[in-house]
Amino acid sequence: MSTPSPAAGPPTGPVRVALVGTGNIARFHAEALRSLPEQAEIVAAVDVDTEALSAFRSRFAVPAGYTDLTEMLDRERPELVHVCTPPGLHRSQVEACLGAGASVLVEKPPALSLAEAEKMAAAEGGERGPWMATVFQHRFGSGARRVRALAEAGVLGRPLVAACHTTWFRPQEYFDVPWRGRWETEGGGPTMGHGIHQMDLLLSLLGEWTEVSAVARRQARDIETEDVSLARVDFAGGAVASVVNSLVSPQEESRIRIDFERATVELVHLYGYGDDNWRITPAPGYEDEVTAAWEGGEWGTDSGHRAQVSQVLAALRGGTAPPVTSAESLRTMRLVAGVYASAFQGRPVTPADLGPESPFHTRMDGGGVRW
Ligand SMILES: NC(=O)c1ccc[n+]([C@@H]2O[C@H](COP(=O)([O-])OP(=O)(O)OC[C@H]3O[C@@H](n4cnc5c(N)ncnc54)[C@H](O)[C@@H]3O)[C@@H](O)[C@H]2O)c1
């Protein structure tokens, strides 16, 4: 039997999926794929750690295992590869997959720098793919989709002020994993590695950012990167937001709050949300209109890998670029780079300041931070 060619157009049956990296997060990918048998089949997994690979293959009944990505791509010709390795490997692995004609769903952060992310986007195949999508699973719960729909329909009025806080706790031992806490391998601290999820969600709700003014600190952990950052972000739509990213907060929480003219929308959760994590408070005079639109919106989908993976598979089967697209993930990466550039240069930064001439284009630390 001949193996289908990924270049042959949209998949006609279940998408042939491979995973590279079988560590912590790969489990969420495999569970999501297994729960969507009509949309996807897992054909292979790749890991340099043969024990991790073998345990993963047994647990998820993966038919083929490889220690080399290129060999897997040659032999299996997957249509989609989920890249679940540490961030320092993403660029070369994503480019290898795209070069072999396979679309990619890469874990966040998609790359270590804007320069890398732009090169990866340039390796996509254009209108017919293959494409690169990034995992930002918080966009895909029904709560976020409902807020976006109401905002787009004009029910909420203009966004005015917002808060986006990712205040988590990671003890020093968390950084014993060799790639964590280092600019070279993780690309940054909680701004790049943790708060990026909520910053992406905020951008998906508020649109283009225009200026950021930030500070970054090492408050408590013995690591190369920051363990705390705080930023003020302006948006083209007129809103201003406070963004806090922390790994030193014993009472852990992920919080987004947006005050629109006609309602406050709030999300409080930790690593993922359901409908119950969202609350809306209409402004006086708008109770009936806002409540009716809220109750009539989309409900029933938790945020998480399954919600995003099902959208990725549907897009591929429909022959369109899967979400979150390279352009959208670049916008989020640009805000991360803007936070670091502003914090380490001590001045406000706009997206236009982050072009190839900026040292923060090639490295999130701008080539060296003296704390
Ligand atoms: N979306 C989320 O909520 C979320 C949560 C946690 C982690 N992540 C991201 O997922 C990625 C992986 O994180 P993790 O916690 O699963 O890491 P991990 O260290 O648990 O797993 C990484 C795996 O990659 C394997 N690997 C290393 N080099 C390889 C190579 N050259 N080829 C093939 N496999 C290789 C390792 O052996 C390991 O099994 C990171 O980018 C991280 O930021 C995302």
Query: The domain that contains 16 carries what CATH number?
Result: 3.40.50.720
User: Do 202 and 75 fall within a single domain?
Assistant: no
Whether 309 maps to a domain, the answer reads no
What is the per-residue pLDDT for 9? 80
Measured from CB, residues less than 6 Å from any atom of ligand 1 are: 20-25, 46-49, 52, 69, 84-87, 89, 107-108, 135, 137, 193
| Residue 21, domain extent | 6-134
Instruction: Establish if 165 belongs to a structural domain.
Output: yes
Query: Quick one: pLDDT at residue 370?
Result: 77
Number of neighbours of residue 147 by Cβ within 10 angstroms: 24
Domain count, the chain: 2
Is 171 strand, coil or helix?
coil
Separation of CA 356 and ligand 1 centre (Å) = 28
Dmax (CA) for the chain in angstroms is 66
Same domain, 130 and 189: no
CA-proximal residue: ligand 1, atom 37 (nearest)? 49
Atom of ligand 1 nearest to the CA of 53: 39
- Please tell me the distance between residue 238's alpha carbon and the centre of ligand 1 in angstroms: 38
As given in the structure block, the two tokens for residue 275 are 């409908």
Tokens for 321, please give them: 């670029």
Choosing from 72, 84, 201 the residue with most ligand 1 atoms within 8 A of its CB, the one to mutate for a pocket test is: 84
Residues 348, 227 within the same domain: yes
Query: Which atom of ligand 1 lies nearest, measured to the CA of 271?
Result: 3
Q: Do 107 and 177 reside in the same domain of the chain?
A: no
For residue 162, give the CATH number of its domain. 3.30.360.10
- Atom number of ligand 1 nearest to Cα 136: 1
DSSP state of 93: H
Asked if residue 238 belongs to a domain, the reply is: yes
- Give, for ligand 1, the residue of 85, 247, 303 to mutate: max count of ligand atoms closer than 8 Å to Cβ: 85
* Residue 27 burial (CB count, 10 A): 15
* Ligand 1 center to 264 CA (angstroms): 37
Judgement on whether residues 87 and 214 belong to the same structural domain of the protein: no
Q: Please name the helix (run of DSSP H) or strand (run of DSSP E) that holds residue 30, with its range, or none.
A: helix 26-34
Task: Yes or no: say if 108 and 328 are a contact pair by the CB < 8 Å rule.
Answer: no
Residue 323: inside a domain, yes or no? no
Give the integer Cα–Cα distance in Å for 329 and 316: 18
pLDDT at residue 8 in the model: 62
Would you call 70 exposed, middle or buried from its count of C-beta atoms within 10 A (0-12, 13-18, 19+)? middle
Is residue 139, in this structure, part of any structural domain at all?
no
Ligand 1 center–CA 325 separation, angstroms: 21
Tokens representing 285? 């005079």
Per-residue pLDDT of the chain (371 residues; tens, 9 = 90+): 334 445 568 988 999 999 999 999 999 999 999 999 999 999 999 999 999 999 999 999 999 999 999 999 999 999 999 999 999 999 999 999 999 999 999 999 999 999 999 999 999 999 999 999 999 999 999 999 999 999 999 999 999 999 999 999 999 999 999 999 999 999 999 999 999 999 999 999 999 999 999 999 999 999 999 999 999 999 999 999 999 999 999 999 999 999 999 999 999 999 999 999 999 999 999 999 999 999 999 999 999 999 999 999 999 999 999 999 999 999 999 999 999 999 999 999 999 999 999 999 999 999 988 78
Closest C-alpha to 110, from 338, 328, 258, 287: 328
Residues 214 and 347 in one domain: yes
Q: Are residues 218 and 174 in the same domain?
A: yes
pLDDT at 3: 45
Residues 49 and 166 in one domain: no
Kindly give the number of the ligand 1 atom that is closest to the alpha carbon of 90. 41
Q: Are residues 201 and 344 both part of a single domain?
A: yes
Whether 42 and 110 map to the same domain: the answer is yes
| Ligand 1 probe mutation, 25, 137, 192, 273, most atoms within 8 A of CB | 25
> 10 Å Cβ neighbour count for 337?
31
CA of 25 to the centre of ligand 1 (A): 6
Our mutation pick for probing the ligand 1 site, out of 20, 22, 24, counting the most ligand atoms within 8 A of Cβ, is 24
- 185 and 117 part of one domain: no
Q: Per the domain annotation, does 78 fall within a domain? A: yes
**How many A from CA of 355 to the centre of ligand 1?**
29
In this structure, are 348 and 252 located in the same domain?
A: yes
At 163, which helix (H) or strand (E)?
Answer: strand 159-169
Residue 223 within any structural domain of the chain: yes
Contacts 24+ apart (CB under 8 A), 240-243: 240/160, 240/161, 240/162, 241/161, 241/162, 241/163, 241/164, 241/202, 241/206, 242/162, 242/163, 242/164, 242/165, 243/163, 243/164, 243/165, 243/195, 243/199, 243/202, 243/214, 243/339
Q: Which atom of ligand 1 lies closest to the CA of 179? A: 19
